[in-house]
Structure 1
Amino acid sequence: MSASRKIVAGLFMSLDGVVEAPETWHFPYVDEEMGEAVESMHAAADTLLLGRTTYESFAAVWPDQVGALADKLNDIRKLVASTTLAKTEWTNTSLIDGDVIEAVAGLKRQPGKAIHLSGSLTLTRALLHAGLVDELRLLVHPIVLGSGRRLFPEGATSMPVELVRSATFSTGVVDLTYRTA
């Protein structure tokens, strides 16, 4: 039996661990290095996994964009975990039917490249809890927000991880890749 596909969760994070609403604090740190990091996350994947909120945010912007990242996001297979959406409009997008954890576990067993989980805090937490996330790719921004939803909330279960890659950008953003145990 072949090895299962990898799920890589990519998130923008503040120094104090906030991952909520990066559109309100992330953009001052966008430069060529950040662009290359984000493109590399998507380049290694053939499937993009999104929660409803992230899907709606992406679908409102990316279909009208141009460039390599826009082409990748518009062309890639996209799966959305939502119990409230009735349909999707963005090209190559499908809703996950039934139990999300079972569907994603099944997706991991199918042949293919990595599955990129972008943002989608609720979905990321659920997949981490189910042991389905293989890597966390955290782009930690040099800003303290003081409030907002964090990837690991107070009282989260202990989860050992192994740092497998790190880089620091000229903006002070630290690009960290952790493998889950």
Structure 2
Amino acid sequence: MESLALAIEVRDAYTRGHCDRTGRIARALGQCFDLEPAQLEQLELAAHFHDVGKIGVPDRVLLHPGTVPDDDWPAIRAHSELGERIFLASGHAHASEVATLIRHHHEAMDGSGYPDGLAGDAIPLGARLLRVADSYDAMTTRRTYAEARSHETAMRILHAEQHQKIDPEVFRVFEQLMRNADLREA
């Protein structure tokens, strides 16, 4: 697994840090949902590797400053399916379970997400947890295309995305969890 993590870091140092922070947040969130130890491990592993598919996204898209042009969205959207394929090839004992979470971390509660347009409870719980952890960290850290937002702003955006993009029950628990300032600095 370390070689896969190194490949992410070599490709894009931001993505490696983002995946590590997302892993810490996702694990803490999963603990609030009383996941079994194996499920927690799978969730944390999926969080650490949820963006491994970005290895296959061209630099001009991945490192594009500002808003991604519409023509480049197919390359961005392909990263979750590519990530699933890469992780399945890892040989990890729980590759199938972890790869499923990687594939579905951009699904939306209303079915507007990708890659499969799953909605509601059809989205695995781990993927719903990962979606919130991923979104929060992405919003609160500086990226090539956006400045970091404050904790308060990110929480307002996530609150507004309930029912459409994110699971309202997951957000409710996340909101309580994020009262812990240490996680905000994950």
TM above 0.5, yes or no, is no
Larger helix fraction of residues: 2
Higher relative contact order (CA 8 A, sep 6+): 1
